[in-house]
Amino acid sequence: MADYRIAVIAGDGIGPEVMDEALKVLCEAEQEEGFSLEVQAFPWNSEYYLEHGRMMPEDGLDTLQTFDAILFGAIGDARVPDEVTIWELIMPIRKGFRQYVNFRPVKSLPGIPSPLANGEDIDFVIFRENAEGEYSDSGGRLYAGQEGEIAIQNTIMTRTGVERITRAACRYAEEHGLGKVTSATKSNAVIHANKLWDEHVRRIVEEEFGGLQFEQYYVDALAAYFVQRPQSFDVVLASNLFGDILSDLGSGLVGGLGLSPSGNINPEKDYPSMFEPVHGSAPDIAGQGIANPIAQIWSAALMLEHLGEKRAAGRIVKAIEDVLAEGKVKTRDIGGTATTREMGSAIGEAFKNQT
């Protein structure tokens, strides 16, 4: 029997609330699908920072490295600057474990209206480059406080970085029977970094993935196509910044933050990958037990898929769809009154009741 060690970082705000429900559903999956999960929780959140002056212990990454995967909730607290939570916890994990793929499915769910009139049957995935690009700490400020103050922010794109994210996206397309890969940049304006991206993406697709259809757009045009014809995409490939923006646009097309999962994936599996909802700690609703746990539960399903438990993963997504299709249990963000727990339990029940 497969046995997986899972590190859980529930985090701040609604993180622990939605994490409880994901763990509940994982327990059901474990019992029915014949694998076992050894779960260890780590209290590395803003409270921990206020007490210890750091987001995680010095050997935090060494500890996490011994796990098969990390399930992450959300981090963010008004008392701790965002730079700290991001650069001392999330970024070290992403970069240290070479999680260079940020994977986000964009999929219509039953009973969840899209804000688009043509918003039915949307189903594509975004591969966002997660380790380099525009989100770098290279740069600085000059002449601070003076009239001539300037800031320099460097974008770093490497041939290796572009090649590996392209291969990951194309392999996913092939493995899942998806015909088309769409790449987005702004290489008419960002002429150094984005031209390098365009050239090497195209080369890798042509040399190694001849069976796939390939298209390249400027990201501004692609944003419009997301709205005009979202059904025409299979796998969308974009750099760190553009992928981030396109992902939230995608999430908006199919029902919002409470429903959007993501994976920070190390495709080589030489380090653990990390799975987390797209949403943050939602301080405005924390502590009320009303957050939607679907994004977290779905993230747990992505984790199982990555670990190779594809049937269990598929069953969890199906359970989410069944509950939404029935329409009886809905949290407030999707127009209902159910609590976080009621939603988690309904999905657990739907999982068990599948034939």
Site residues (CB under 6 A) for ligand ATP? Answer: 14, 18, 74, 76, 257-258, 279-282, 284-285, 291-292, 295, 333
Query: Which C-beta is closer to ligand ATP: that of 18 or that of 304?
Result: 18
Query: Which C-beta is closer to ligand ATP: that of 183 or that of 296?
Result: 296
**Nearest distance in Å: CB 275, ligand ATP:** 15
Query: Which C-beta is closer to Mg ion: that of 39 or that of 86?
Result: 86
Among ligand ATP, Mg ion, none, residue 272 binds (CB under 5-8 Å by kind):
none
d(CA 72, CA 47): 16
Q: Does 280 bind Mg ion (CB under 5 A)?
A: yes
**Nearest distance in Å: CB 115, ligand ATP:** 15
Query: Which C-beta is closer to Mg ion: that of 194 or that of 299?
Result: 299
Among Mg ion, ligand ATP, none, residue 186 binds (CB under 5-8 Å by kind):
none
**Nearest distance in Å: CB 22, ligand ATP:** 11
Judged by CB under 5 A, which stretch of 113-121, 133-141, 149-157, 279-287 contacts Mg ion? 279-287
Query: Which C-beta is closer to ligand ATP: that of 18 or that of 320?
Result: 18
Query: Which C-beta is closer to ligand ATP: that of 266 or that of 339?
Result: 339
Among Mg ion, ligand ATP, none, residue 178 binds (CB under 5-8 Å by kind):
none
Query: Which C-beta is closer to ligand ATP: that of 3 or that of 284?
Result: 284
SS3 label, residue 233: coil
Instruction: Give the nearest residue (CB) to Mg ion.
Output: 280
Angle at 228 between CA 222 and CA 233, to 5 degrees: 60
Take residue 186 and report the two structure tokens written for it. 């702004």
d(CA 158, CA 323): 44
Burial category of 306 from C-beta neighbours within 10 Å (exposed 0-12, middle 13-18, buried 19 and up): buried
Task: List strand residue ranges (DSSP E) for the chain, in order.
Answer: 3-11, 36-41, 69-74, 101-107, 123-129, 139-142, 150-153, 180-185, 213-218, 235-238, 261-265, 273-277
d(CA 159, CA 173): 21
Query: Which C-beta is closer to ligand ATP: that of 17 or that of 309?
Result: 17
Among Mg ion, ligand ATP, none, residue 291 binds (CB under 5-8 Å by kind):
ligand ATP
Among ligand ATP, Mg ion, none, residue 26 binds (CB under 5-8 Å by kind):
none
**Nearest distance in Å: CB 76, ligand ATP:** 3
d(CA 1, CA 271): 22
**Nearest distance in Å: CB 258, ligand ATP:** 3
Angle at 328 between CA 326 and CA 331, to 5 degrees: 115
CA distances from 95 to 85, 86, 101, 171, 316 (A): 14, 12, 11, 22, 29
**Nearest distance in Å: CB 18, ligand ATP:** 6
274 close to 100: Cβ distance less than 8 angstroms: no
Among Mg ion, ligand ATP, none, residue 348 binds (CB under 5-8 Å by kind):
none
DSSP 62-87: HHHHTSSEEEEEE--BTTB-HHHHII
77 close to 283: Cβ distance less than 8 angstroms: yes
Site residues (CB under 5 A) for Mg ion? 280
